[in-house]
Copies of this chain bind each other. A is one copy, B any other.
Amino acid sequence: MFFVENLFLLSPTVMENPGYCSGSFDGLHHPSDDDDDDDEMVDIAGATLDFSTTDDVPPLSSGETSCSRAGMNGGGPKKLVDLLEDPLPGVGTYEDFNTIDWVREKSKDRDRHREVPDTKTCFFLFCVLLLALNAPSSPPGALAGGIDIAAHWLTDLKGGVCLIGFWFNHEHCCWTSNETTFQERDRCPQWQSWAELIVGNSEGAFAYIVNYLMYIFWALLFAFLAVILVRAFAPYACGSGIPEIKTILSGFIIRGYLGKWTLITKTITLVLAVSSGLSLGKEGPLVHVACCCANILCHLFTKYRKNEAKRREVLSAAAAVGVSVAFGAPIGGVLFSLEEVSYYFPLKTLWRSFFAALVAAFTLRSINPFGNSRLVLFYVEFHAPWHLIELAPFILLGIFGGLWGALFIRANIAWCRRRKTTRLGHYPVIEVLVVAALTALIAYPNSYTRMSGSELISELFNDCSLLDSSQLCGYKQPVNVSETGVGNSLADRPAGEGLYTALWQLALALIFKMLITVITFGMKVPSGLFIPSMAVGAIAGRLLGVGMEQLAYYNHDWLIFRGWCSPGADCITPGLYAMVGAAACLGGVTRMTVSLVVIMFELTGGLEYIVPLMAATMTSKWVADAFGREGIYEAHIRLNGYPFLEAKEEFEHSSLAVDVMRPRRGDPALAVLTQDSMTVEEVETVVDSTHYSGFPVVVSQESQRLVGFVLRRDLLISIDNARKRQDGVVSTSQVVFTEHAPTQPPEAPPPLRLRGIMDLSPFTVTDHTPMDITVDIFRKLGLRQCLVTHNGRLLGIITKKDILKHMAQIANRDPDSILFN
């Protein structure tokens, strides 16, 4: 694994793999490191790198003026032009677990454009088109469809097997049978439970126990396969992946995180993990899967393979595609990408994301995994409008969602921290097996926990019709159906025996889901949070909804019900409560707002229910924010120490740049290079004696007037290369960053000219600049470091890590929790 010398790494940080779910595979070598290094460019010795402009730039002739020359190569290092004819392999690339420089990457891309202007949008569109349209052959839409079908089959396999072909799932098996009627499509002779198959009997306690044991057996088998595969092939495949994708999109480099091994492993283990019955969903991981697809497609095009900033534009679109295929909500997907995941989201990406999300959604529909030929996962159609008074219970659901969200985040982070720091983390396989066994053991007896998360939500969202045989619709039938007629068939009815049983089971399921999700999320298997969160909210909502319904039925004359809830009227829809509850809980956990409401709106297709959803989501966010501003993804980012500068929160402390910059008062002076008075040996001494990843270049040590900035990595590569290839460059050669080498005695060795690798336009702020402005600049321009001046003299440097440490300090957190730069 790669480990980085951080800029201003004053104390050695703990050397550990940062992934919260890969951290414990101690000593495990990541397979992607060797054969699937998506960002690897350095090790390919001698490979011809396409730094587009270099071929056309003639070697610098001494007669050229500064301006014309500078005009040609666009300001030096942005072009990565060395005075050597060929660009050096490795110059201008990044090491693993490092932050990219957005300005430099965007500038590189613009230089490229100037060379090949026609291919500009063409390439991007082609890439996105491939990503989206090629779905039938491999990418997100098709993968999502495949995952759905496979997970459905494996989930059913836990209960029984189809005699006419073990590859049929329960529903499909009974479809092929002619004997089944619509009413009993779940029961057919071809489908046999394990008890029937093994002991030839489907009734009685013994058969129940056989089924129970088989259920646990399959759950353990799937969970074991999932964790073993993740461990063996791609440690990065675990978790939801959204925290890491947020970090990567903000400009961090994690090699192999979006590689083909991760893609393959995550797809397979996601199916296994979902089928094992663990309390996790597949929606979050689908975003990771979509990003992997996009990243692999990007590798087909030089433009995206070579440019970290351009590639992140495609990844932003891919995140939208992921949510689009997960929920069948293209607009919601785009807003999710915009609001939650993306860091740098230019307007042109909006349109492309939207296009990609739509095409992916339609691909998914053509595969039709939900079997209802709908675009959406949970198709609902409610008959009754909602009443203003109902806003009160909706807001109550919002409060519940917010409280649960805040509690969940705290508990989950505490558990994950324990996993990281104690011996618990050393036994990931055993942990998964124990949780899977526990889940299966408790879940089986309760039909609402036995069914999969999405089935449960679907059932809870559903509105009861008269013919509905579900236990949740176990109302007492109206005595005289024929008299009251159809118009009343959906009216509020008193709860019957079945419904009361269902309510008890639901209440138990609620407690179970709330507890088990806390320890499940963060285990070493792919695990999404959307479905478990929504399930918790949907159960709570349905319980409240049925409660309200019964209250209204027995108290028509109460003031609050008068006028809109008369006897025989269909006034309260428990399914709507479930939907609102689901939105509230998901909002509390993730702190999504607009995108969540739009996703829910796209699930139902009616503007009518936006106001309840909004009221609940808003309340939930406010309540949860009162306990801590971070959503679950930000919390996990912080837990892992990634260098993520949150774009949503404003920096409100009144410190100045001078308070944050290094060197601090009392520290040794800033390590700088001078533009024309140091030898190769002196430069090497400065570089070797520090850990800094870059050095400012000044006119002279006395004046401290800033000329440029040079990166350690580029410097080392260039010196190394010059010693090997450039005639006469020895330790006493002068290192020259100016345009024209100063006149030297004739016997002196030839100078080493390094202006080409120097950034001639480093960002500077004055020492008096308030930190809020500095943080704004870092965020908006995507800076990696910024130099600090006072009255025109160089004073110090601020890096992204310095800012994050400063922010951690202000918030009374441990500044050393920021691990990377």
Q: What is the CA–CA distance of A593 and B355 in the complex, to the nearest angstrom?
A: 10
Grouping DSSP codes into helix (H, G, I), strand (E, B) and loop, the A interface class, with mixed when no group exceeds half, is helix
Q: Apart from A331-B331, A761-B768, list 8 A-B contacts with CB within 8 A.
A: A74-B654, A74-B770, A361-B607, A605-B605, A699-B792, A761-B765, A761-B773, A792-B793
With contact pairs A656-B71, A658-B70, A793-B705 given, residues A598 and B766 touching in the complex (Cβ less than 8 Å): no
Which residue in B117, B338, B656, B772 is a CB contact (below 8 Å) of A67? B656
Q: Does A107 reach chain B (CB closer than 8 Å)? A: yes
Give the complex CA separation of A794 and B656 in angstroms: 23
A70 and B768 contact, CB distance less than 8 A: yes
Expressed in whole angstroms, the Cα–Cα distance for A760 and B103 within the complex equals 25
B contact residues around A334 at 8 Å (CB): 594
Which residue on chain B has the smallest CB distance to residue A764? B764
Interface residue stretch chosen among A184-192, A196-204, A299-307, A775-783: A775-783
Query: Which of the residues B78, B362, B776 comes within 8 Å of A770, measured between beta carbons?
Result: B78
12 contacts between A and B (CB under 8 A): A74-B654, A110-B650, A114-B654, A330-B607, A331-B331, A338-B350, A350-B594, A605-B605, A657-B761, A705-B705, A762-B766, A781-B781
A72 / chain B contacts, CB cutoff of 8 Å: 654
Q: Are B652 and A791 in contact (CB under 8 A)?
A: no
List residues of A (610-624) whose CB comes within 8 Å of B's CBs.
610-611, 614, 618
List B contacts of A780 (CB < 8 A).
Answer: 780-781
Contact B354 A347 (CB under 8 A): no
Cα of A614 to Cα of B601 in the assembled complex, Å: 20
Residues of B within 8 A of A792 (CB): 699, 703-706, 789, 792-794
**Is A148 at the interface (CB under 8 A from chain B)?**
no
Any chain B CB within 8 A of the CB of A144?
no
Residues of B contacting A765 in the complex (Cβ-Cβ under 8 angstroms): 761
Mark each residue of chain A from 60 to 79: 1 if its CB lies under 8 Å from any CB of chain B, else 0.
00000001001110111010
Please name all residues of chain B whose beta carbon is closer than 8 Å to the beta carbon of A618 when the two chains form the complex: 355
CA distance A81 to B461 in the complex (A): 59
Nearest to A111 among chain B residues (CB) is: B654
Inter-subunit contact A103/B773 (CB<8 Å): yes
Given contacts A331-B331, A594-B334, A791-B706, contact A358 B658 (CB under 8 A): no
Distance in angstroms from A636 CB to nearest chain B CB is: 20
Contact A614 B781 (CB under 8 A): no
Residue pair B791, A699 in contact (C-beta under 8 Å):
yes
CA distance A594 to B792 in the complex (A): 46
Closest to A608 in B: B375
**Closest CB in chain B relative to A809 CB, distance in Å:** 15
Find the B residue at minimum CB distance from A365.
B607
Kindly state whether residue A423 has any CB partner on chain B within 8 Å.
no
Are the C-beta atoms of B70 and A375 separated by less than 8 Å? no
Q: In chain A, residues 334-376, which have Cβ atoms closer than 8 Å to a Cβ of chain B? A: 334, 338-339, 347-348, 350-351, 354-355, 358, 361-362, 375
In the assembled complex, the Cα of A355 lies from the Cα of B704 at a distance in Å of: 52
Interface presence of A410 (CB below 8 A): no
A106 proximal to B (CB < 8 A): yes
> Complex Cα distance A762/B764, Å?
10
Say yes or no for A426: interface residue by CB 8 A criterion.
Answer: no
Which residues of B sit under 8 angstroms from A776, Cβ to Cβ? Answer: 103, 106, 781
A114: which B residues are within 8 A, CB to CB?
652, 654
Q: How many copies does the complex hold?
A: 2
A618, B777: Cα distance in complex, Å: 34
Q: What per-residue 1/0 map shows which CB atoms of A731-755 lie under 8 Å from chain B? A: 0000000000000000000000000
A67 engages B760 (CB within 8 Å)? no
Total residues of chain A contacting the partner, CB 8 A:
80
Using CB atoms, name the residue of chain B closest to A789.
Answer: B792
Most buried by B among A334, A766, A793: A766
Complex-state Cα separation, A703 to B650, whole angstroms: 37
Tell me if A707 counts as interface (CB < 8 A to partner B): yes
Checking B358, B699, B768 against A76 with a beta-carbon cut-off of 8 angstroms, the contacting residue is B768
- Find the B residue at minimum CB distance from A78: B770
Contacts of A789 in B (CB 8 A): 792
A614 touches B659 (CB 8 A): no
Q: Is the CB of A652 within 8 A of B355?
A: no
Of residues A74, A647, A704, A794, which shows the largest number of chain B Cβ atoms within 10 Å of its Cβ? A74
A163 CB, min distance to chain B CBs, angstroms? 38
Query: Which residue, of A113, A594, A703, A706, has the highest number of chain B Cβ atoms within 10 A?
Result: A594
Contact partners of A726 in chain B: CB under 8 A? none
Q: How far is the CA of A351 from the CA of B765 in the complex (A)?
A: 32
A816 and B396 CA atoms in complex are apart in Å by: 61
Contact, CB under 8 Å: A781 / B777:
yes
B699 touches A652 (CB 8 A): no
Whether A655 and B107, one on each chain, are in contact in the complex, defined by CB atoms closer than 8 angstroms, is no
> Any chain B CB within 8 A of the CB of A725?
no
Q: Once the chains are docked, how many angstroms separate the CA of A114 from the CA of B350?
A: 35
Q: Which A residues, 404 to 440, have Cβ-Cβ distances below 8 Å to chain B?
A: none
A397 within 8 A of B: no
Whether a CB of chain B sits under 8 angstroms from the CB of A769 is yes
Q: How far is the CB of A489 from chain B (nearest CB, A)?
A: 25
A245 within 8 A of B: no
Within the complex, which residue of B375, B614, B655, B705 is in contact with A355, where a contact is CB–CB below 8 Å? B614
| B610 and A358 within 8 A (CB) | yes
CB distance from A66 to the nearest CB of B (A): 9
Residues of B within 8 A of A71 (CB): 654-656, 659
- In chain A, positions 307-350 with a C-beta closer than 8 Å to chain B are 330-331, 334, 338-339, 347-348, 350
- For residue A597, CB closer than 8 A to chain B, the reply is yes
Give the residues from 250 to 296 in chain A that come closer than 8 angstroms, CB to CB, to chain B: none
CB distance from A129 to the nearest CB of B (A): 12
- Smallest beta-carbon distance A7→chain B, Å: 21
Q: How far is the CB of A737 from chain B (nearest CB, A)?
A: 11
Q: Are B773 and A107 in contact (CB under 8 A)?
A: yes
Taking a contact as CB atoms under 8 Å apart, the answer to whether B761 and A75 are in contact is: no
Report the 8 A-B pairs with minimum CB-CB distance, sorted nearest first.
A705-B792, A761-B769, A760-B768, A780-B780, A75-B768, A792-B792, A351-B593, A761-B766
Residues of B within 8 A of A659 (CB): 67, 71
Chain B residues with Cβ below 8 Å from A762 are: 766
- Asked if B67 and A347 make an inter-chain contact with CB atoms under 8 angstroms apart, the answer reads no
